[in-house]
Chains A and B, each alone.
Chain A
Amino acid sequence: MTDNLTHYRCPACGGTLEFNSRVQKLKCPYCDTEVDIEALKTLNSDTAAEENSELKGGTSFTEEELAKTESYECESCGGQIVVPYGTGAMSCPFCGNAQVVPKEFSGTLRPDFIVPFKLDKQQVKTQYFRHLEGKHFLPKVFRDQNHINEIRGVYVPYWLFNSQVHADLRFKCEKVQRSEDANFVYKRHLYYSVRRKGSLCFKDVPADASTKMPDDLMDSLEPFNAQEGVAYNPAYLSGYLANRYDQDYTLLLPRVQGRMFNSTVDAFSATVRGYDSVSLVEQQASFQQQTFRYGLFPVWLLTTKWQGKRFTFAMNGQTGKFVGNLPRDDRAYYQTLVLLSVIFSILGTFLAYVFLLTEE
């Protein structure tokens, strides 16, 4: 397969245009020409015609196909690009030109919307160094010697679910009234059965639809705001990596329903007030008016290597939220533990001694 690649040419110099998150337009990295996404169709009528014809013919992939890789011929230098199946946008490893594979997002695979990148690579670096600040047990050498290996902007496929959760919860609650006389303390335990039956609407609960992205890392980037999404246009992918979904929404639905249910229980429980103890004894839930849609969210991935270990960080390309686990300096951890134990023990001994003396 050596066709189906699209790159967007600059009308001024012929260079490959890339989406620029600051100006929210395609920008030529060579002559700084800016091209509005909407105006692109008239500039690249050939590309647009090809893209439109592709949009009609999308089909779902079989499991066998998912395991394969694909090769494309770069339109700029003619080099062969080999990528995992499902890669929708990439850079040519030979000439660096941004490439988009329209067929990966065509037909039934076409995203309903895309949230364009709002933050650029420089802001990823700034957020990364901010992420390292104030971490007491971060090894100093990690901060000093650690070098950023790679920063990639990736459009991650997500399923977004809407649903109305109907729940019927029963709680056993207890109030305790205290009184006393000269000889006894009286505690009257009052028991109540509390019911909360109702509904709660959820909108655009996201679930990462790519097995290539770790679920916990993508979850940690939330929340995303799908309301800022725009109609899908492959031009937004230019200059970034992109994957199409390889997990069907039916696979992700149970997990999303679990999240909605937990939030419903929390929201209902918060209305049960005025008791000394509350315990949930019965719960039922059903999900109605379920709808879903498919979108692409912007994520910056940053990788570093330290002591042979690879560390992956991610930044929400929409909000700037930065996440990623950091290594712990065990020596500093245990030194601090011992030091604080000694200080708190001395203070605790003094306070306990004073307390015991006054008790007598």
Chain B
Amino acid sequence: MEEFWSAVILGVVMGIILAVIVVNYMASGLKSVHIQTSADSYYDPNQLRFEDRSEIFIGSRLETVPKPRPQSRR
């Protein structure tokens, strides 16, 4: 029974979030007027010229995470 109510809470939260995303996506079609913030249509990608495109290794860090111990079945 505990699993059932956990599933209900999880399902309702996921359901509402998904519904809001879908409905707002459908409503976004009503808005077609936006300020342009880029100029992507006005350059030729083949005209991109690099003087420097270096990639330098700086350092590393090791993160160790203990594995969860297997739980016994009820």
Contact = CB atoms under 8 A, between A and B. Distances in A.
Nearest to B30: A326
Given A183-B67, A195-B53, A220-B32, A263 B27 contact: no
Contacts of A325: 30-33
Given A198-B49, A198-B53, A184 B34 contact: no
Per CB-CB distance, the 10 closest pairs between chain A and chain B, nearest first, are A349-B11, A345-B15, A348-B11, A344-B15, A353-B7, A198-B50, A340-B19, A223-B41, A352-B7, A197-B52
Contacts of A351: 11
Interface of A: 131, 134-138, 168, 173, 180, 182-205, 214-217, 219-220, 222-223, 256, 258-260, 262-263, 266-268, 271, 323-328, 333, 336-337, 340-353, 355-357, 360
User: Would you call the interface of chain A mostly helix, strand, loop, or mixed?
Assistant: mixed
Nearest to B4: A353
A196 B30 contact: no
Given A189-B61, A202-B39, A328-B27, A323 B8 contact: no
Contacts, number: 215
Contacts of A326: 30-31
B42 A203 contact: yes
Contact of A348 (B4, B6, B10, B59): B10
Interface residues of B, number: 59
Contact of B12 (A193, A267, A323, A348): A348
A356 B7 contact: yes
A346 B51 CA distance: 57
Nearest to A256: B39
B65 to A, nearest CB: 5
A13 to B, nearest CB: 42
B9 to A, nearest CB: 9
Given A344-B14, A348-B10, A333 B48 contact: no
Contact of B57 (A188, A192, A195): A192
B73 A360 contact: yes
Given A187-B62, A194-B55, A325-B31, A356 B6 contact: yes
A199 B10 contact: no
A137 B66 CA distance: 51
A265 B66 CA distance: 40
Contacts of A342: 15
Interface string B27-45: 1011111111111111111
A173 B56 CA distance: 10
A329 to B, nearest CB: 9
Nearest to A314: B33
A201 B46 CA distance: 10
